[in-house]
Structure 1
Amino acid sequence: MCRSVDVRTAVLAKNDSLAAQLRTELAERRVTAVNLLSSPGSGKTALLELVLRRARERAVAVAALTADLATENDARRLARSGAPVKQVLTGGLCHLESAQLRGLIDGWLPEPTRLLFVENVGNLVCPASYDLGETLRVTLMSVTEGEDKPLKYPTAFGGAHLVVLTKTDLADAVGFDDSAFTTAVQRVNPGVEILPTSARDGRGVDILLDRVLAVADGAAPHTPLLAADHLRHHGHDHAPAHHHGDARADGHEHGATHAPGHAHGRSTRPASA
């Protein structure tokens, strides 16, 4: 048991080291990388296609990498936006790692690219533990998935700089409980902004792009509750031992509102959730 934990810790430590190097390299190139995490079927490809279109309409230099176990379907969809897109086939691997990402962008990422969106493999477990060297980590969930999903996958939601709720045009039809969802998110990541979106009617798309551009311009992102060292030592999906109203180690109280994502200052690197 201890040996397996030690091996996993070493693997993640190596990944974190490479991620830190990549983050520095991307910063030197003035590239803001956004790691998109969600379960399959959340609608992140449809939403990302709209974000890429809006970015191009606003003359923002944008590119995207999309990862899947098989097929190039998502890359073909995203390419309709007119943005440079690269498909990553993982060959069965359930997540991307920083070494893969670095190898993929070397010699491919156009100059100058301001925003790089990385659509990770559809999975809320494995990708959540790997820092890719991203500037922002965004976790997405659709209204069809159940309000308690953040409690079931606290690593993915607890390490996010921003939480995006998708398919909100279906919320009434499926009886989505927004209050319960907000409570669940704030329990694992106090103060994180929850952004409602819909790829069907365009709700929230420009706001999402604005949030990313603000960070690209130097605004400090929300600081996630779960830090990289905590995740590396405690493993997958262990819920933080806290409840609403409990004091954090820094003296702040846990909130339960849709707080802006710029309240906690810039972290030296995003959480390797």
Structure 2
Amino acid sequence: MILVFGRTGQVARELAAASDDVRCLGRTEADLSVPGACDAAIRAIRPAAVINAAAWTDVDAAEAEEEAATRINGAAPGEMARACADLGIPLVHISTDYVFDGSGDAPWSPDDATAPLGAYGRSKLAGEKAVVAEGCAHVILRTSWVFSGHGRNFLLTMLRLGAERERLTVVADQIGGPTPADAIAAACLKVQDALRDGAPSGIHHFAGTPDVSWADFARGIFEAAGMCCTVEGIPASAWPAPAARPANSRMDCSALRAAFGIERPDWREGTGRILAARL
């Protein structure tokens, strides 16, 4: 049995749907903000593998509540990794492109220097370092721009706004790879299986293709949905927020393909699956 931290998040829900061998723990069963909760859950259940799909994801709120975000995104994954190391259990931990500063226009490789722009990125980087330090068999899977047919995400926001308005302004100078949550779930399951068979630990990137701006992602959504909503691209500076976002979230995913045979998912196909399921 695979223990998943997270129940209502996008990836956790897709993991539950993808496998009967998954047990998802929500906050009432394992509150990542409570020291010892993750350790106790792992030791009580003793699963074959652990996937951490739970996180503090409110990027802007993290600026004002960095200590709380770091407890959930930093200390809790380290606690999971420590228990996994003690019990000989592999861990797959989901991280983010926000560990980079978003400079340049080249895709980020797993071994590139990290330099988070804000509290959220710092908290996620703390989690990565904690997992590595504990020495369990692990894969840290950095992903970006996650979307699905449930929860709060860009695709669902665009579908709602596109039905209400004829024109939207969307940021056009941030570039990344939108990633379907069901593809992340499938990647996590494949990776944990490989770790159980002795695959080496490491940090890998997994993001959708092709890379686009938020504005072009919105245009692709409206085209696929047959919605007549015009998108005007604007600079990120015209949409101020408490936390800075990386301008360049392109991810080099070649190491993941080489190690595990996992290809980048096409976000246009993922969008089509979600739209078809909503009909």
**TM-score of the pair, normalised by structure 2:** 0.32
Q: Is the helix fraction higher in 1 or 2?
A: 2
**TM-score of the pair, normalised by structure 1:** 0.33
Q: Which of the two has higher C-alpha Rg?
A: 2
